[in-house]
Amino acid sequence: MRTAVFGGSFDPPHNGHLALCLYARELAGVERLIVSVSKNPFKALADASDDDRAAMATLLVAEINAAGAFAEMSGWELRQPGPSYTIDLLRHVAALHPGDDLVLLVGEDSYRQMPQWRESREIAQLCDIAVFGRSGSVLAVGSCGETLPPATLIDFDMPVSATEVRRLAAAGQPISHLVPPPIAAYIASHGLYRV
Ligand code: ATP
């Protein structure tokens, strides 16, 4: 089975994440998708808690699965005692699903940081990497030279970020055009991102 891993802080999940996951099923042939909520060591006071991010990622997964179930939320990284690294998550998924073809889904901004990731060469040996274009990225993918691991580049342009959603929510402005309705409702009912 082709299993994809999509990690993020999901603070909050937004329409870019949703579209990326649905694209992955169509374009990267993903049959199982693991949406993993990462730790947020740089958490600011107004950022959502681990529990809220996990709850919103569960709502994201429900939205993804509305088009046919293939995704699951994982809180494995949040339960690890130390810092969480993508290589450890991938080894965990490989042990859970032996024999599966693994593919890591990343946005272009994350991909360009991969040379700084722990064991990035081992990541590329363990899985395929599918990179989704991200508008606003300063460099085109590939322009960093050979330090970037081999990857499949997917043409993708969804100009939305969690930073922008948090900024609007903090200002009391509408976010319903940027996040799925259940996540907008969760943010409102839990008063998230209000400073
Ligand atoms: P923040 O604005 O807080 O940095 P974010 O919008 O980048 O958050 P994350 O949860 O950090 O959201 O992202 C998880 C993954 O999804 C990363 O690989 C990121 O590059 C990718 N991603 C997020 N939004 C988009 C988007 N609009 N287009 C393409 N990739 C995206």
Evaluate if residue 33 carries a pLDDT over 70.
yes
- Whether the pTM exceeds 0.85: the reply is yes
**Cα(1) to centroid(ligand 1), Å:** 26
pLDDT of residue 141: 45
3-class DSSP state for residue 50?
A: helix
The position carrying tokens 């429900």 is: 62
Which atom of ligand 1 lies closest to the CA of 135?
Answer: 28
pLDDT of residue 145: 55
Over the range 106-137, which residues count as b (16 or more CB within 10 Å of their CB) and which as e?
bbbbbbbebeebeebeebbebbbbbbbbbeee
Task: Calculate mean pLDDT across residues 32-57.
Answer: 90
Q: Is 3 in the pocket of ligand 1 (CB under 6 A)?
A: no
Structural domains of the chain sorted by starting position, each given as residue range(s) with its CATH number in brackets: 2-190 (3.40.50.620)
Which amino acid is present at 109?
Answer: D
Q: Residue 28, exposed/middle/buried by CB under 10 A (0-12, 13-18, 19+)?
A: middle
- Best probe residue, ligand 1, of 84, 132, 163 (max atoms within 8 Å of C-beta): 132
Q: Is 35 in the pocket of ligand 1 (CB under 6 A)?
A: no
The β-bridge partners of 102 are 3
pLDDT of residue 109: 93
3-class DSSP state for residue 35?
A: strand
Q: Is 109 in the pocket of ligand 1 (CB under 6 A)?
A: yes
The β-bridge partners of 101 are 2
Q: Mark out the alpha helices in the chain (DSSP H runs).
A: 15-27, 50-65, 76-79, 86-96, 108-112, 120-126, 162-170, 181-189
Segment 116-171, tens digit of pLDDT: 999 999 999 999 999 999 976 544 545 455 589 999 999 999 999 999 999 999 99
**Cα(5) to centroid(ligand 1), Å:** 14
